[in-house]
Amino acid sequence: MKTTTSGFTLIEVLVVVSIIVILTSVGIFSATSALKQADITAEQANIDQLKIALSVYKESTGQYPPGQFNAPEDNCSICRLATGNISDAQTEWNEAVSMLVPRYMPESIETDTWGNPYGYDNNFNVGDARYYTLLCSMGPDGELQTFLPTDRPSYEKATVPNPTARGDDICFFTY
């Protein structure tokens, strides 16, 4: 009489475990990518809300929110970020956004989705009939790539045509 045993061989078990590991890693990668994209989309919505609030503020007052920290007529938190001065950048941004709440937007947005201060300049480029305001989130990597200290020209020779965000920064420019 011959006895038979039922069960899986070691090779069969290893193949099944390998397939499960591969499917799990693909699922984790997809979920991570989806979460990163959701954060970027949320930040784009924050920037859009701030853009609307800043535009309505300018329509009402004739200027973008100035600062008090450095100079009453100038708010350049992005200048502070560009030089690595995060604390002063946060202070300047908080001053600007405090002028928007509650009249122009319901609540303050003090940091971007990743917890970094916004880079803002209420008069980034003045001169030769070009005047625009810059607002940037440093994006997921937390590195400011759109504005570098050498990017800001002198006010007498201000020409920065077609401003665009660099790297993973999320920005808007408005005249």
Report whether pLDDT(173) > 70: yes
Instruction: Give the chain's domain count.
Output: 1
- Residue 49 covered by a domain: no
- Residue 143 covered by a domain: yes
- Residue 157 covered by a domain: yes
- Residue 149 covered by a domain: yes
- Residue 120 covered by a domain: yes
Q: Can you list the positions of beta strands (E) in 45-142?
A: 119-127, 130-137
3-24 residue pLDDT tens: 667 788 889 899 999 999 998 8
Residue 143's SS3 state is coil
- Residue 175 covered by a domain: yes
Domain enclosing residue 148, as ranges:
62-175
d(CA 8, CA 144): 56
115-170 residue pLDDT tens: 998 888 876 555 443 556 678 888 898 888 876 444 444 433 334 444 567 778 88
- Residue 159 covered by a domain: yes
- Residue 53 covered by a domain: no
- What token pair was written down for 165? 């965000």
d(CA 97, CA 117): 11
